[in-house]
Amino acid sequence: MSDTPPQNDAPWGCYERLLPREIEAIAEARSVAYLPWGALEYHGHHAATGLDGLKAHGLCKALAAAEGGLVLPPVYIAANTIKKAPGLEFPRHSLDFAESTLSLLAREHFDQLADECFRVVFTLCGHVGQPHYDLIKAEAVAANERHANTHFIATSETDLVSPDLFIVNHAALGEIALLMATDPDCVKLDRLPQDREPTLEQDAVWGPDPRTASAELGHQFIAGFITGSRKAIHAVYSPTSSKT
């Protein structure tokens, strides 16, 4: 088997929707597992509480369609959500788990996917609250030390898309545009204030004004994400059964 990057007809699918033979055929052609990691978190009145996982799942599906491989269902277990952000009062509609729970789940996901003999496990963190994000990345580093035949990547779209195009944000222009591209029914721009700029304290919006977001802009972000992600995968993907 060659390690030449596949083209747009690369075999891919959503793991939970496939029969065993279909999973095996895709894994044989491109042994990459995509693990979207999200949160159930308040993102204002204008966006679904599952934004982080929906966004990550949509991005992983777009990447798999270009690169090949298998997309796992999103994990909606997060720590350090807006529920516990100092100085903010958004107590409802967010679930916030212990950091020890998050680390354990990441470790067990990584070990299970190594047991499935994937050569690359690409974890996309849709929620980048800290230390949530660093905990998952640390577990990926530890998994790389434990497993000789699987390479683990833990990253986010904010680390893969040029900062000239996309910056870290919460329920703002970047995230809302991505959600409009991946899950347009989960965004209601008309529920944003029309007489003032949205704020973090009032609207859970941190970053550029989301009122100008569009699906077209979201697709530009997705294209940049795919370019950056494929470089990261190609840097470690090996057609053999061991790391190189």
Query: What residue ranges define each of the domains in the chain, with the CATH number in brackets?
Result: 12-234 (3.40.50.10310)
* pTM for this predicted structure: 0.94
Reported as a single tens digit per residue, the pLDDT across 78-101 is 999 999 888 898 879 999 999 999
Reported as a single tens digit per residue, the pLDDT across 45-66 is 999 999 999 999 999 999 999 9
Average pLDDT value for residue range 153-180:
95
Reported as a single tens digit per residue, the pLDDT across 97-121 is 999 999 999 999 999 999 999 999 9
* Residue-wise DSSP of 102-138: HHHHHHHHHHHHHHTT-SEEEEEES---TTHHHHHHH
Reported as a single tens digit per residue, the pLDDT across 203-241 is 999 999 999 999 999 999 999 999 999 999 999 996 654
Per-position b or e across 11-27, b if 16+ CB within 10 A of its CB: bbbebeeeeeeebeebb
